[in-house]
């Protein structure tokens, strides 16, 4: 619990701007399908019960859902998973989704539209998501690799670079940012140099001759440099995620050569998630003025340890370049648990600073506002 004294302002006073998240499903999910969205593992089945010892409810995130979400649906905190799912179905997925999204207390959500379904069910479009959340403001984040995949079979090796630049300019016309998942497709240990036309064409020829999944390191670099030319903030996945990545190659410090190469262009680079390399992400934000970072997703998954993790992050990261996000995906529950994890962790850390005399109450208020919404509003040029 936070020390007595200073407390984080309530959501009406301190709204949250979720700068990186995904849409949700409103289809009725099976028990296994719901459970599959409580873990980053893609090995959790969506159509059969989890293997013994692998119940996703038996996790920090599972406990958080059972703590924060049942009261929103009319149950006591810590209701059983079976009781919670039964009540959710009684209300209907659409009603439960609306209640949970509104309870999160978010003023703005910037949605990565690179995913279109979860647990086999379609995700809501941006207008439908905004309506379900009670009129929350939404913005789009365009995923580079998904956009590039739409060109497979529709471009030539020699035209790939130009065609992708045109496609990105069109797709991002109303977007607030773009995102790269190079950490998944190759790793962040990419050659930082901008590839030339011949190098790009040769790599594009190899890609066009195979699967639409874009994982060639030269083309991943080409996407990043095209995004640099576009000028919008570039979000980059770092740290943990599903088993599709090699964790040690998602260490954000591997991006340092690219950050140096891109620095003259002044394009903001936003390091997402970070854990367990959140201290490396904090160092990069300290060392390079165009680097921003968050521990979105991390706080939801670290449960009672969230305040410790956030405290480690705040050891070095400049307060003016730290952002809030949930990285919620599929389940509206993940918006509420992500928001509560952040509020509790930040409240605990700042209250301790104030109680120990390391920070004035007025500074704690200011820092909380910067991280909760002010930094993101400035970065993404939102009203």
Decide if 369 is inside a domain. Answer: yes
Alpha-carbon torsion, ordered 324, 328, 333, 339, to 10 deg: 0
Rounded (10°) angle between helices 306-314 and 333-355: 60
pLDDT at 245: 93
Concatenating the DSSP letter of every residue in 197-245 gives HHHHHHHHHHHHTS-S----HHHHHHHHHHHHHH-S-EEEEES--STTS
Q: Which residue range forms the structural domain that includes residue 138? A: 16-28+101-379
The reported pTM is 0.96
Decide if 192 is inside a domain. Answer: yes
User: How far is Cα 186 from Cα 190, in angstroms, rounded to an integer?
Assistant: 8
Decide if 288 is inside a domain. Answer: yes
CATH at 117: 3.20.20.140
Laid out side by side, the sheet with 106-112 consists of 16-21, 106-112, 137-143, 177-180, 234-238, 269-273, 291-294, 322-323
Residue tagged 């941006």 (tokens): 126
Decide if 371 is inside a domain. Answer: yes
Which residues in the chain come in under a pLDDT of 50?
Answer: 2
Question: How many Cβ atoms sit within 10 Å of the Cβ of residue 174?
Answer: 8
Decide if 359 is inside a domain. Answer: yes
Decide if 336 is inside a domain. Answer: yes
Decide if 9 is inside a domain. Answer: no
Q: What is the pLDDT of residues 291-342, one digit of tens each?
A: 999 999 999 999 999 999 999 999 999 999 999 999 999 999 999 999 999 9
- What are the structure tokens assigned to 88, written together? 């959710």
Decide if 62 is inside a domain. Answer: no
- What are the structure tokens assigned to 36, written together? 């599959």
**Residue 87 burial (10 A CB sphere; 0-12, 13-18, 19+):** middle
User: How far is Cα 101 from Cα 97, in angstroms, rounded to an integer?
Assistant: 6
Number of compact structural domains in the chain: 1
Widest CA span of the chain, in angstroms? 64
276 preceded by a cis bond (ω within 30 of 0): yes
Beta bridge partners of 234: 178, 269
pLDDT at 4: 60
């Amino acid at each position: 619990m936070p020390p007595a004294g200073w407390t984080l302002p309530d959501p009406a006073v301190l709204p949250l701007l979720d700068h990186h998240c995904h849409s949700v499903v409103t289809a009725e999910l099976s028990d296994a399908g719901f459970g599959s969205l409580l873990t980053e593992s893609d090995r959790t089945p969506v159509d059969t019960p989890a293997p013994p010892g692998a119940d996703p409810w038996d996790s920090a995130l599972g406990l958080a859902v059972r703590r924060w979400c049942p009261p929103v649906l009319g149950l006591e905190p810590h209701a059983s998973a079976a009781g919670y799912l039964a009540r959710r179905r009684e209300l209907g997925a659409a009603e439960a989704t609306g209640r949970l999204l509104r309870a999160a207390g978010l003023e703005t959500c910037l949605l990565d539209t690179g995913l279109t379904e979860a647990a086999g069910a379609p995700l809501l479009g941006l207008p439908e998501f905004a309506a379900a959340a009670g009129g929350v403001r939404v913005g789009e984040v365009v995923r580079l690799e998904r956009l590039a995949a739409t060109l497979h079979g529709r471009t030539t090796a020699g035209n790939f670079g130009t065609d992708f630049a045109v496609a990105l300019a069109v797709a991002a016309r109303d977007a607030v940012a773009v995102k790269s998942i190079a950490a998944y497709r190759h790793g962040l240990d990419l050659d930082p140099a901008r590839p030339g036309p011949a190098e790009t064409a040769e790599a594009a020829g190899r890609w066009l001759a195979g699967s639409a999944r874009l994982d060639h390191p030269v083309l991943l670099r080409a996407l990043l440099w095209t995004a640099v030319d576009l000028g919008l903030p570039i979000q980059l996945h770092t740290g943990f995620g599903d088993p599709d990545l090699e964790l040690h190659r998602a260490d954000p410090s591997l991006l340092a050569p690219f950050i140096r190469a891109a620095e003259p262009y002044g394009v903001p680079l936003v390091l997402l998630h970070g854990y367990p390399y959140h201290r490396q992400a904090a160092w990069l934000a300290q060392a390079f003025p165009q680097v921003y970072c968050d521990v979105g997703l991390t706080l939801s998954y670290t449960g009672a340890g969230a305040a410790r993790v956030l405290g480690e992050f705040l050891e070095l990261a400049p307060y003016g370049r730290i952002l809030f996000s949930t990285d919620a995906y599929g389940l509206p529950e993940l918006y509420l648990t992500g928001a509560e994890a952040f509020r509790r962790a930040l409240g605990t850390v700042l209250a301790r600073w104030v109680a120990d005399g390391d920070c004035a109450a007025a500074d704690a208020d200011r820092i909380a506002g910067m991280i909760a919404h002010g930094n993101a509003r400035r970065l993404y040029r939102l009203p």
